[in-house]
A and B are shown apart, each in its own frame.
Chain A
Amino acid sequence: MAKFIKKDKGDIPAINTSSLPDIVFMILMFFMVSTSMRQTDRMVTLTLPEATEVAKLERKDLSSYIYIGTPTRQYQAQYGTDSRIQLNDSFKTVKDIGDFVAVEREALSEADRQFMTISIKADENTRMGIITDVKQELRRCSALKIMYSARKAGK
């Protein structure tokens, strides 16, 4: 057995892997900090329209989402197949947008409030009527910065 234990002088010593956990933990910490878990379950089917001239949103944390689309199958019995507005975790009407915006605005710090962006995530088959209503309501509660969420299309 001795020949297995004996240490040859010219051999490369095994690499010390004791710091591997540290490295992995470091990556882990990065992901834990940078992760933003999806806060809302989408209850509408959503295929975003395509656009080529999309711009990125710089501050993701300043945006609130309004989902517009037809309810997914499990909610269709209750809510029908017509386009609906989803705010946070429930179906709402246009009238509730005012409250929603107020709550979202309240959650931001004073300095960031003016940069709040409302991201409208609407299905491409939605009719403009409901979106126009949403836009009018947003204007009424002076949430003027909006974004039409879109997929980047290949040129």
Chain B
Amino acid sequence: MAKKTPEINGSSLADIAFIALIFFLMVTTMDQEQGLQRRLPPMPTDEQQVQDNKVNRRNIIQVKVSAQDRVFAGDEVIVEMSQLHDKIVEFLTNPTDDPNLPEKQEKEIEGLDHPCLVSKGVISLQNDRGTSYSKYIEVQNELVKAVNTVRDQFSMAEWGIKYSALDEERQDIVREAVPQYISEAEPKDTKRN
């Protein structure tokens, strides 16, 4: 009978595997991609530009960020960011039915048993070429926060839970009832440079 080959010691296999594992653990990028998602408006044709002008004045709030990073909302100077937040919330909800604030339209939403009032408000964000990116993002963030506050209000009134805690289906309903219309306005001074 042939000599029996000794069994290969496999105990170091685990160590080798561990080294490879640690290598992959280190090179893996687990950082999640996060940020503020936006949809840019398509390049306008001449026809659309005419339509844009037809939007009622009261339905638009102009938020401007100047080259010195100063923020204006409507004709008001914003010193504190919470001021902008409150102004946008007021603009979107229009609690007193002020004729200078956006009109609301009654709308049937699928999945909701009663029609609700949807604001026609559009936030128009304008910036200068000299505005710093961090300020711009800060303002964008504040606008999203304001919209989320209004969504929370709506969701609390309907179901008694916050918007972020809702399931996908009901989030869609809220998104329809409180749309996030943030228009990043056509830059006015691109042709200058």
The residues of A with any CB-CB pair to B shorter than 8 Å are 17-18, 20-21, 24-25, 27-28, 31-32, 34-38, 48-57, 60, 63, 117, 119, 122-129, 131-133, 135-136, 138-140, 142, 144-152
Contacts and interface: CB of A to CB of B under 8 A. Distances in A.
A139 B41 contact: yes
A147 B24 contact: no
Contacts of A129: 129-130, 193
Given A52-B145, A56-B33, A147-B35, A138 B40 contact: yes
Nearest to B65: A128
Given A21-B13, A24-B17, A49-B137, A126 B132 contact: yes
Interface string B38-67: 111111000000000000000000000100
A132 B17 CA distance: 49
B136 interface: yes
B129 A150 contact: no
B96 interface: no
A128 B136 contact: yes
A51 B132 contact: no
A131 B33 contact: no
B165 interface: no
B132 A28 contact: no
B10 to A, nearest CB: 6
A24 B18 contact: yes
Given A51-B137, A146-B40, A150-B34, A24 B21 contact: yes
B79 interface: no
A33 B130 CA distance: 44
B39 A145 contact: yes
A121 B141 CA distance: 16
A27 B41 CA distance: 45
Contacts, number: 151
Nearest to A58: B33
B140 interface: yes
Interface string B1-32: 00000000011011001101100110111001
Given A54-B35, A140-B43, A148 B137 contact: yes
Nearest to B40: A144
B20 A53 contact: no
A52 B145 CA distance: 8
Contact of A24 (B10, B14, B41, B137): B14
A132 B35 contact: no
Given A35-B28, A128-B65, A128-B130, 20 more contacts: A17-B14, A25-B17, A35-B29, A53-B148, A54-B34, A128-B131, A131-B133, A132-B127, A132-B129, A138-B40, A139-B40, A139-B41, A140-B43, A146-B38, A147-B38, A148-B36, A148-B38, A150-B35, A150-B141, A152-B34
A27 to B, nearest CB: 6
